[in-house]
Amino acid sequence: EKGGYDHFMIKEIFEQPRSIGDSMRGRLRADDVHLQLGGLSNYMDKLAEAERIVIVACGTSWHAGLVAEYLFEELARINVEVEYASEFRYRNPVIKENDIVIAISQSGETADTLAAIELAKSKGATIFGVCNVVGSSIARATHAGAYTHAGPEIGVASTKAFTAQVTVLTLIAIATAKRKGTISEETYRQLLIELENIPAKVEKMFENADKIKEIAFIFTYARNFIYLGRGLNFPVALEGALKLKEISYIHAEGYPAAEMKHGPIALIDEDMPVVFLATRDSSYEKIVSNIQEVKARKGRVIAIVTEGDTLIPGMVDFVIEVPNTHEILTPLVSVIPLQLLSYYIAVMRGRNVDQPRNLAKSVTVE
């Protein structure tokens, strides 16, 4: 049941400290520098030797795949391609026997993702699953995998399943990097410690909920929204836009911030809300100049910033702070305010947030 909340979606958003923690439990112990994924332990050498990883997924799970692309490249120096399952399955994709395919799916029943797995399997690839539903069709079709332990997700808009997917994919990327020797012992230890701190940091962010509600109130009747981010925050921008459009029916687009100049900047005027993912990371200076470009055209900017940022609050209309963490783990904190923003806007518009029109929780037809 909803446990006192108005909707499953908000219950599930608030469950994330637990669901992220559960997705690490038994796998990660920072105290004794331990990280092991039981379901993949026989495949760790294969992963470490992989020349290429192909990720197949749809929707929010595809966004988790884009996060994983950065992680595997950055930490394990493996070339990664992220494919929409529906496109992959109808092309004639080049798949080799030493390729690893990772299928990401909350429900484990998405028809296009399942078909993509079957195609890759027929070409001899090794398939891993990152699924939430135990014993689901996709979990059964894969050679090995690691479950997300998000618990049942009832709200049609995926929230806690996304952060659980990102958590598990982060664990896999770190374990692979350790096996390959592409990260230092020190970075490895730090990442494990920081991962263990994430649930408490997410919990702390809920203190901002009222502020996010006020911002939501101001933008309830916006007709469009743009979300911009760079690096690991680019997939978060896409996810923020998807959350908003699916439950509030407001048109929203996510872009890599630097792409704005190549077209979308024409949309900016005093009526256009622009959400910037502007946490303190290696893209910070670049994002600051992207914010200036939008402000110069009178866009209304909501910036997601790292706690204690003193520069951006003076430049924008609204700021929402998120806790500082290791750059690699940024999506796990920066997506949370975007989930809340879309939830509150949708509620204020009187939408059926748990069951948006035209959508189903699992898409078992292509």
Chain positions contacting ligand F6R, by CB under 6 A:
58-61, 105-107, 110, 113, 157-158, 242, 246, 362-363
Shortest CB 183 distance to ligand F6R, Å: 29
Q: Are 74 and 191 in contact (CB under 8 A)?
A: no
Residue whose C-beta lies closest to ligand F6R: 59
In angstroms, rounded to a whole number, what is the distance separating the alpha carbons of residues 343 and 345? 6
Structure tokens at 207: 């203190």
Task: Give the span between the Cα atoms of 322 and 325, in whole angstroms.
Answer: 9
Tokens of 331: 């999506």
Out of 46, 204, 211, 361, the active site residue is 361
> Minimum distance between the CB of residue 176 and ligand F6R, rounded to whole angstroms?
22
Q: How far is the CB of 25 from ligand F6R (least distance, A)?
A: 21
* C-beta closer to ligand F6R: residue 105 or 330: 105
In the complex, the smallest distance separating the C-beta of residue 209 from ligand F6R, rounded to whole angstroms, is: 20
Helix ranges (H only) for the chain are 8-14, 16-24, 44-49, 59-76, 85-88, 111-122, 137-141, 160-180, 185-205, 209-218, 233-248, 284-296, 330-348
What is the spatial distance between Cα 22 and Cα 335, in angstroms, rounded to a whole number? 19
Q: How far is the CB of 51 from ligand F6R (least distance, A)?
A: 26
Cα distances from 99 to residues 89, 128, 248, in angstroms, run 16, 11, 39
DSSP per-residue codes, 68-112: HHHHHHHHH--EEEEEEHHHHTTS-----TT-EEEEEESSS--HH
Strand 224-229 with 251-256, pairing? parallel
**Which CB sits closer to ligand F6R, 312 or 336?**
336
Burial state string for 177-194 with b = 16 or more CB within 10 A and e = fewer than 16: bbebeebeeebbeebbeb
Burial (0-12, 13-18, 19+ Cβ within 10 Å), 327: middle
Instruction: Give the H/E segment covering residue 227.
Output: strand 224-229
Q: Please work out, in degrees rounded to the nearest 5, the angle formed at the alpha carbon of residue 281 by the alpha carbons of 322 and 250.
A: 55
Is 311 in a helix, a strand, or coil? coil
The nearest distance, CB 245 to ligand F6R, in angstroms, is 10
β-bridge partners, 81: 54
CB of 202 to ligand F6R, least distance (A): 18
Q: How far is the CB of 297 from ligand F6R (least distance, A)?
A: 31
**Active-site annotation holds for 204:** no
Amino acid at 327: E
The dihedral of CA 240, 245, 250, 251: what is its sign?
positive
State the catalytic residues. 361
